[in-house]
Chain A
């Protein structure tokens, strides 16, 4: 006997929880199945950046819509302080090469009307006095910001559950099945069956194997990234930080601790199982050196925890979203490539709208599953 609801969502990350919320708000019955626990994947492991700047123009409208219409009122709407702070994003450069990179990123986004601009080293230090004298310039986007990824995910979950969405954790989906050509059923590792008119797969990298059971293969690879968090400190600076070289990114949280992420070079080459999220022996040291290059003032601040997570990197760097036209009832939300958090509210809203038969707030046509073509 299958459990039935109008919508079935695979994955209780922020996309799954937020989409469940927007659906439940519309009185649509939702079941969310999750193999581990709420927010187990990237949703609880990212550094909380909510940015529009330096985005691919295909996902920029989702970012701008989120920042303009959804993030500012989200805490009130969910009844949980998601610590959204629109305090700007400053992306730093130490060399002329860095400045060239920043220039291109700025030009790209300016086309869509984003308020981002290049600033000199002096101006950068005026915005954030703690940075090293070595910084020669930066890109500055005042309408960018950051939020608490953990609380945002759990906040959406809590409210969705309150509105009647059913969440089952420890229930890993292994296979989807069609019925008369439409995606209809999910089978779990425990052997349970769930049926719905719409199935949304929002399970990070695991989305690939799950949708493959219906012959839908999303071109993703895995990338393993790490973050660290420090002890609480008195307020230094609220801006979201980044670098032209993308060697680290992060911000100081409401709690006072700093959350930072960064690459050390090995990220695509780890020989690990999906469940393996223990940190590596080298990456935090690399991150620490990078951070101190720009912010020597943070030298003696202590790191209390490190963690890692798997990114689902998509072939062209932006997610696969929305209804899959060749299989009615199947919807995807995967391949966020490490920048899904900031756009999550708008993505979830659009997915819910599409499922509910409404016009989506942002046009998703450039992000559909069937966009992939060979390069030649």
Chain B
């Protein structure tokens, strides 16, 4: 069971900030402002933000931006980053060509 989050709780209005244009997810080019805005639209977990914006869905699968995104979400929600569940890790740990994936040798 996940952390209890009542999505009706007020987290204040979205207030634009001067660094909203900063790219956070480099692979998919998602900005800080987009992430903050998504939180205000109800995306309160890493996975929801990821699915909504594609932040963390690129080739590096969130290795570069993950920590940073979590911090941004936590700040918007007034929580500590450690309280929020992180991204889920899945195979393959590195990108793999379909042809190699399908080539299981003489198994």
Q: Which residue of B lies closest to A301 (CB)?
A: B98
Binding site for B on A (CB under 8 A): 35-39, 44, 150-151, 154, 157-158, 161-162, 166-172, 189-190, 230-231, 255, 278-279, 284-286, 288-289, 291-292, 298-307
B91 touches A279 (CB 8 A): yes
Q: A37-B47, A150-B52 are in contact. Are A158 and B42 (CB under 8 A)?
A: yes
Rounded to whole angstroms, the CA-CA distance of A167 and B51 in the bound complex is 18
**B10 interface hit (Cβ, 8 Å):** no
B104 within 8 A of A: yes
Asked, given contacts A158-B42, A167-B8, A169-B7, whether A301 binds B97 with beta carbons under 8 Å apart, the answer is yes
| Contact assessment for B90 and A278 in the assembled complex, using a CB-CB cutoff below 8 Å | yes
Chain B neighbourhood of A162, CB < 8 A: 41
Q: Roughly how many angstroms separate A157 CA and B48 CA in the complex, as a whole number?
A: 11
Interface residues of B in 87-107 (CB under 8 A from A): 90-92, 95-99, 101-104
B residues touching A (Cβ–Cβ < 8 Å)? 1-8, 41-45, 47-48, 51-52, 54, 57-59, 61, 90-92, 95-99, 101-104
A250 to chain B, nearest CB (A): 12
Assembly CA distance A166 to B98 (angstroms): 43
A230 in complex: contacting residue of B4, B7, B90, B98, CB < 8 Å = B98
Q: How far is the CB of A45 from chain B (nearest CB, A)?
A: 11
Contact between A36 and B2 (Cβ–Cβ < 8 Å)?
yes
Q: Which residue of B lies closest to A161 (CB)?
A: B42
Query: A167-B7, A292-B102 are contacts. A151–B52 as well, Cβ < 8 Å?
Result: yes
Q: Is the CB of B51 within 8 A of A39?
A: yes
Q: Please judge, given known A-B contacts A168-B4, A168-B6, whether A154 and B43 are in contact too, CB under 8 Å.
A: yes
Q: Check B8 against A166 for contact (C-beta < 8 Å).
A: yes
B98 touches A298 (CB 8 A): yes
Q: Are B48 and A38 in contact (CB under 8 A)?
A: yes
Q: Which residue of A lies closest to B6 (CB)?
A: A168
Task: Pick from B5, B43, B57, B98 the residue with the most CB of A within 10 Å.
Answer: B98
Task: Specify which chain A residues have a CB less than 8 angstroms from the CB of B90 in the assembled complex.
Answer: 278-279, 305-307
Other A-B pairs, 17, CB within 8 Å; known A161-B7, A170-B3, A288-B102? A37-B45, A38-B48, A168-B8, A170-B5, A230-B98, A255-B54, A284-B91, A284-B92, A292-B98, A292-B99, A300-B97, A300-B99, A302-B95, A302-B96, A304-B59, A305-B57, A306-B90
Give which listed residue, B2, B43, B95, contacts A231 with CB less than 8 A: B95
Contacts of B91 in A (CB 8 A): 278-279, 284, 306
